Structure formats: structure tokens, C-alpha cells
Amino acid sequence: MTEAQIDPRAAGPESVRWLVLFGVWLIYFCFGLTIASLAPLVGPVSSELGIGNAQMRTDTPKK
């Protein structure tokens, strides 16, 4: 088989690298989308639960 007749469906190391890069980028994008979608929910959640900003933080120790 000559170089002109190479099967484009054959997965070589270059195509696997692109798939891995795309997968990592997709995970990174989904994580960013999740973090960005949480910020607008702080107001409605805290008002529904009847708690303030200090209580909404998870790293503040409870008294």
C-alpha cells in the first residue's frame, strides 16, 4: 500500500492524540460550565432557605 492509498479510518498515533486532547478539553469545558452555572443560583437558594451570605459559605465553622 502506498502513502496515497492509506486508509483514513485507520487510527494512528496522531489521531489518538487529537481524540485525547479533545476529551481533556471537553472535561475542562464541562467543569467550567458547571462552576459558571452555580453562581446565579446563590441568590434564589439562599432566599428560599432563609439564610444569609455568611451561612451560605461552606468553609465557615458553625457555632
Rounded Cα distance between 63 and 57, Å, is 14
Annotated domain spans of the chain: 15-48
pLDDT value for 53: 80
* More reliable by pLDDT, 9 or 30: 30
Rounded Cα distance between 5 and 9, Å, is 12
pLDDT value for 10: 62
pTM of the model: 0.53
Tell me which residue has cell 443560583.
Answer: 41
Inter-CA distances, 55 with 34, 36, 60, Å = 22, 21, 7
- Residue 26 Cα to chain centre, angstroms: 7
> Three cell numbers at 21?
486532547
What value does the mean pLDDT take over residues 8-15? 68
Task: Read off the pLDDT of residues 17-52 as tens digits, 9 standing for 90 and up.
Answer: 999 999 999 999 999 999 999 888 888 988 998 888
